A and B are shown apart, each in its own frame.
Chain A
Amino acid sequence: MSLAIPFLPATVLQSADVAGRRKPEGVRLAEDEWGRLMSAAQAGNGGAYRRLLADLTVWLGRYFARRLPAGEVDDAVQETLLAVHRNRHTYDPAYPLGPWLGAIAKRKWIDQLRALERRSAEMLTDTIATPDHEAAITSATVLSSLMSQLRPAQSQVILLVKVQGYSIQDASRETGQSVSAVKVNIHRGLGRLTNLVSKTNDVE
């Protein structure tokens, strides 16, 4: 929602997660504005809808840029916009739009990851020009392989709290684990990760 609240630093917006984490005041205001725009769109106001989709495109671009290879971001943004369009009747204006949008974006992210996995076996030509994402991809691969060696309950809460930035309470709500179980799983999981990394000669 950077267009609607120019006073808010982009970094704050980038770091804000609409899927339920505690958010700065500016982001909450932005979500309220999104809710009003969506409410108007549900009533058939095309101008409000165009403005909302433009704002969501900015936010979704940032959301997917941190989660997907650069070549997949536009596809993911448009898939999510399409899902927002198809399901706009399910939005309840009594609630902020953020969690609603965040849930759709997360689902689309998972769909894109599955599609990427399916396509991973396909041959690529040498002529595709893309920015270098080697370091990021290597980190993601290493992290993924390390996380797969943890218990699911541990890897889930570590990803939520340490990677996606959820609070302990939000991670507890999301996973169904108690707050103390989340803390214990993070502590033990990080300990296990440290052991795994220290036993590895060259993680790359």
Chain B
Amino acid sequence: MSNEGFINALSAGLTPVRRRSVRRETLVLAALGALELALFVAVASTRADMTNAITHPLMWWKLGGLTLLVGISVFTALRSLSPGAFPRRGLVLIGSTAGLIAAIGAFINPGIATDMPMLNRLAPMHGLTCTACIIALSVPMLAVLAVFMRRGASTHPEATALAIGIGSGSWGALVFALRCPMNDPLYILLWYCVACATVTVLARLVLPRITHL
């Protein structure tokens, strides 16, 4: 088909389109997050000693760090859904923030005995359960962000998928942190990272395949 014919075909019967809005998408995600959080607290409730735990720096490190990661990752992902927006800086910021959060964790007194054997501290069976819960809790956010990505037009789909994966995994971890009774930074770093990494790898492998510019 000639270019002229092609242009006529595209412009014939043109209908108005609803512009993509980052604000609208942010509001949808915020509503989804609030709903998921409310359902989780209603069904699973928070940890039994939450009133005490919330006063401990470890809890603030956990919640604050994850909130920061969710915010930066989701912002990076949503911003990269428009052509011309390059998510590399956002990804660098995410990596730096994650490193900083991990480093801060090393200086927090967990308030528990840290001279236990490593295997006891890491509690693999409990850790795997935590990982599975975090992955399950990240699915709603991942699904909605995948819909946004499919509807958007990322010109760097691999990088966008990474940001979506990190954001969704961090969100799952943030919700689960309200229930997780573990107070060891080493345990939290290992198993939360395993869960976030799993969600991120999944997003990186799947999302670029279901989107098409």
A157 on interface, CB distance cutoff 8 Å: no
B83 pairs with A54, CB closer than 8 A: no
Q: Which of A101-124 contact B (CB under 8 A)?
A: 101-104, 106-108
B107 on interface, CB distance cutoff 8 Å: no
By a CB distance below 8 angstroms, the chain A residues around B155 are 103-104, 106-107
A53 pairs with B7, CB closer than 8 A: yes
B3 pairs with A74, CB closer than 8 A: yes
Determine, out of A81-89, A138-146, A181-189, A191-199, the stretch whose residues face the partner at the interface.
A81-89
Given the known inter-chain contacts A57-B3, A89-B19, A90-B153, please indicate yes or no for A104 contacting B11, CB distance below 8 A.
no
Determine, out of A2-10, A26-34, A43-51, A159-167, the stretch whose residues face the partner at the interface.
A43-51
Task: Report the Cα distance A101→B3, complex, angstroms.
Answer: 18
B119 on interface, CB distance cutoff 8 Å: no
Q: How far is the CB of B83 from chain A (nearest CB, A)?
A: 4
B82 on interface, CB distance cutoff 8 Å: yes
Q: How far is the CB of A99 from chain B (nearest CB, A)?
A: 4
Task: Report the Cα distance A86→B211, complex, angstroms.
Answer: 12
Task: Report the Cα distance A175→B11, complex, angstroms.
Answer: 36
Task: Report the Cα distance A145→B8, complex, angstroms.
Answer: 42
Q: Say what secondary structure dominates the interface of chain B.
A: loop
Residue of B nearest to A98 (CB): B84
Q: Which of A67-91 contact B (CB under 8 A)?
A: 74, 77-78, 81-83, 85-91
A45 pairs with B14, CB closer than 8 A: yes
B15 on interface, CB distance cutoff 8 Å: yes
Q: How large is the interface on A (under 10, 10 to 19, 20 to 34, 35 or more residues)?
A: 35 or more
B84 pairs with A102, CB closer than 8 A: yes
Interchain CB contact (< 8 A) of A43 among B11, B16, B152? B16
Interchain CB contact (< 8 A) of A78 among B1, B14, B213? B1
Write the B56-92 contact mask toward A (1 if CB under 8 angstroms, else 0).
0000000000000000000000000111111011001
Given the known inter-chain contacts A46-B11, A87-B153, A89-B20, please indicate yes or no for A100 contacting B83, CB distance below 8 A.
yes
Residue of B nearest to A18 (CB): B84
Task: Report the Cα distance A42→B85, complex, angstroms.
Answer: 20
Given the known inter-chain contacts A99-B84, A174-B86, please indicate yes or no for A104 contacting B153, CB distance below 8 A.
yes
By a CB distance below 8 angstroms, the chain B residues around A88 are 17
Q: A42-B16, A42-B19, A86-B213 are in contact. List 13 more A-B contacts (CB 8 A).
A: A44-B16, A46-B11, A50-B8, A77-B3, A81-B10, A82-B10, A83-B213, A87-B83, A90-B19, A92-B19, A106-B155, A107-B83, A176-B89
Q: 5 closest pairs, A vs B, by CB?
A: A87-B153, A103-B83, A44-B16, A99-B84, A103-B84
